[in-house]
Structure 1
Amino acid sequence: MKNKHQIRINPETCIGCGLCRKDCPAGNIRIKDKKAKVITQDCIMCGHCVAICPKAAVSMTGFEEPPEEIEKPSALDPGELLRAIKTRRSIRQFTKRRVEPELIAQIIEAGRLTPTGGNAQNVSFIVLNDRLESAEKLAVGLFRRLLPLMKLVNPIARRMSIDDHFFFKKAPAAIVIVAPSQVDGALAAANMELMAEACGLGVLYSGFFSMAANWSRPLRRLLGLKRKERAVTTLVLGYSAVNYRRTAQKEKASVRQL
């Protein structure tokens, strides 16, 4: 990713204010002769220098989209955001209504824009629509073979049955999040879940399907996963067939003030 891009500073518009130098996490900019200079192109390409420049003198090459001007910082209402988090539920009953492609695109956009460690930007997404049933069938076959062993060590597994819709609960779509880092993949999934909720969709994290995707060679081939690629998590998406009337109770947070 980094090799495709270069940082450029226009000396005609740079005023040498030093904001880019102060904000650069890699210490990759210096001020010389009252102008900002890039020390090396070997940096994380985080774009802070582009974002903070008051004169738009800094640019980065190789991206398909230009940076957007921010007239005023966007502000989420804290109470509304907390309420959305508090009232969300994992959905396991879905209607037959298909999820519109534009909503899928918006959910993926939320994942794409999520920060990654070192600005790696190496989280990718596999959307399951037409091949959803085929993928689930392979995963179901694997888990049915493993269930007797699981029952020996896991009390929950002893009460478990693997039906044909064990993973996706008859939902019309799912997105597999693929990333080298579990943290990066999970952060993207969390933002995608919030976007899905904002779009009026129900969401279920299918950790079992992600396990199957990492274990089963036939399923990996169907998903197009390369040898070193790992499914971090899977978001099952659809319109909820149920309405919850109250929040679920949670234990109080364990907090240490140091």
Structure 2
Amino acid sequence: MLNFKVNEERCIRCGKCITDCPPMCISMQEGDFPVIQDENRCLRCQHCLAVCPTGAISILDLDPDNSIELKYELPTAHSMETLIKGRRSVRKYKKKALETKTITKLLETAWHAPTGTNAQAVLFTATTTAEATEELRKEIYSKLGKLLTDSDFDENDMRFKYLQMAYGAYTNHDVDVILRGAPHILIASAPKTIPLPKEDCIIALTTFDLLAQSMGVGTLWDGMLKWCVDDFFPELAHKLGVPEDHEIGYSMVFGHPSIQYRRTVQRAATEMNLVNRF
């Protein structure tokens, strides 16, 4: 049940909830208040709740007064530009773990990222302690050693070359190239049955990445970790609690950075394809 309700004392009958409804399932007869005629068409996107200027719309038993008003604390274009241009891939971390409430805040906020058809099905799997991550690290390298010894790899397989390099760095120099010594890992997965599982995961991780940077938390998009838990050792994903019917979109490591960057870098000219006539 949607439990779509209109506070008649607040509603000014402006029609914004009707005009902004993506599946156009809200209507209003002259002199009446907005109603949803066909609940099966509703995407549960809450656009009606968000667009109402007086907070008159409630849906899914959600109180509009519990939402954050968007007139407060929106970042400026300059601050967003600085965040986007100033984010760095962090490869050096303090061994201290983040507080669980910080991890939860990051994940709860990042989960608001857009999803195809409003599926809202992304699952975040994260280690909350440095000890759990260390156990995963040890198991990855243990399995990797056996894999590189026992398997007949295609020498032209790029994954083989990178993982072989990582294993050598770890065993010969105690340098962790795969997890970079980070205290936490993050895997985004989604059911294979939804329209865009991989894309939804990457959008969610991008949102997490930018929010983390704004909170002083370092991140690194970790393709080698994804190879390990997705391509070569799926039993690790299962042990971490990733459902078997999920597709892993990508993975990250994160934590307190042990370095601080002081300025943005200067990229080459942006590649653009600007079409002004078709």
Q: Is the 8 A contact 2:57 2:64 kept in 1?
A: no
Question: Which residue pairs with 2:253 in the alignment?
Answer: 236
CA distance in 2, matches of 1:96, 1:40: 54
Question: Which residue pairs with 2:157 in the alignment?
Answer: 153
Correspondence for 2:35 among 31, 34, 37 = 37
CA distance in 1, matches of 2:241, 2:75: 37
CA distance in 2, matches of 1:126, 1:52: 32
Correspondence for 2:186 among 175, 183, 192 = 175
Name the CA shift for 1:59/1:92 in 2 (closer, same or farther; >3 Å): same
Question: Which residue pairs with 2:109 in the alignment?
Answer: 110
SS in 2 for 1:177: strand
**1:82-161 paired onto structure 2 within 5 Å:** 82-128=81-127, 129=129, 130-144=131-145, 145-146=147-148, 149=153, 151-154=155-158, 157=161, 160-161=165-166
* TM-score, with structure 2 as normaliser: 0.80
Superposed displacement of residue 49, structure 1: 1.0
CA distance in 2, matches of 1:119, 1:224: 24
Where do 5+ consecutive residues of structure 2 fail to align?
192-196
Q: Which moved more, 1:195-204 or 1:235-244?
A: 235-244
SS in 2 for 1:230: strand
CA distance in 1, matches of 2:207, 2:62: 23
CA distance in 2, matches of 1:10, 1:27: 20
Name the CA shift for 1:92/1:55 in 2 (closer, same or farther; >3 Å): closer
CA distance in 2, matches of 1:87, 1:16: 44
Q: Is the 8 A contact 2:3 2:59 kept in 1?
A: yes
* TM-score, with structure 1 as normaliser: 0.85
Superposed displacement of residue 199, structure 1: 1.6
Cα RMSD between the aligned structures?
Answer: 2.8
Correspondence for 1:22 among 19, 22, 45 = 19
Where do 5+ consecutive residues of structure 1 fail to align?
none
Q: Which moved more, 1:166-175 or 1:184-193?
A: 166-175
Tell me the number of residue pairs that the alignment of Structure 1 and Structure 2 aligns: 255
Superposed displacement of residue 112, structure 1: 1.4
Superposed displacement of residue 23, structure 1: 0.7
1:210 aligns with 2:208: no
Superposed displacement of residue 13, structure 1: 5.0
Identity of aligned residues (%): 25
